[in-house]
Each structure stands twice: as structure tokens, then as C-alpha cells.
Amino acid sequence: MSWVFLILAGLFEMTGVTMINSWHKKRNWQSLFLLIGGFGASFIFLALAMKELPMGTAYAVWTGIGAAGGAILGMILYGEPKDVKRIFFIAMVLSAAIGLKLVS
């Protein structure tokens, strides 16, 4: 269950990061609410995951999901560059997170 909590934490981290960009563009209450809610839920699920998972593994996977997911959402939602090198390095981040799951 701790890995499910960790994946949820990463997904909520992606929500928070995406809403930072939305907040800068729109400055509405919905963006602010989703920003605070996304990061709040992310930290709660990260704390739950860390009850069973080592801190280093949990933090590395959480930041990997958030960083890679934020970059992917930036490409999809905000028209950020989609060049092959960028996608390759995002895949490397995700591969490292999966690797940590396999060795834990």
C-alpha cells in the first residue's frame, strides 16, 4: 500500500506544479485552491508512504514522478518543447524511479 500512497503523492505533486503555472496565468481561486490542495495531498500521501518505505527511496521516487510528470504536462498543456533529447531525459528520470522500486 505504501507504493500506492507514493504514486498518489507524485500525482498530486504534478497537480500542484501544474497549478503554479495556472495561477501565474489566471490568478483565480480555482487555481489557488488546486495548487494548495495538490501540494497538501502530496505531502500527506508522501508521509503515509514513508511509514514503510525508506526516506531516500520515497523522496527520490516522489520527486521523480513530480519532475517528469510536470515536464510532460508542460509539453501537453502549455506547449513546451517536445524534442527527442528532452523526452529521453524524462524517460531516464522515470527509469530511475522504477529502478528504485525494483531494488527496494
Tens digits of residue pLDDT in 21-58: 999 988 999 999 999 999 999 999 999 999 999 999 99
Cα 77 to Cα 85: distance, rounded to the nearest angstrom: 19
> Residue 85's pLDDT band (boundaries 50, 70, 90)?
very high
> What local confidence, expressed as pLDDT, does residue 102 receive?
87
pTM of the model: 0.88
pLDDT of 103 reads 87
Instruction: Provide the pLDDT for residue 73.
Output: 94
Among 67, 66, 54, smallest CA distance to 3 is for: 54
pLDDT band at 98 (very low <50, low <70, confident <90, very high): confident
- Rg (alpha carbons) of the chain, rounded to whole number: 14
Closest CA relative to residue 94, chosen from 74, 73, 58, 66: 66
The pLDDT > 70 percentage for the chain reads 100
Q: Give dist(CA 69, CA 56) in Å, integer.
A: 20
Grid cell for residue 18: 501544474
List Cβ neighbours of 40 (8 Å cut-off, separation of 6 or more): none
Query: pLDDT at position 57, please?
Result: 92
What's the whole-number mean pLDDT along residues 77-102?
92
**86 Cα distance to chain centroid:** 17
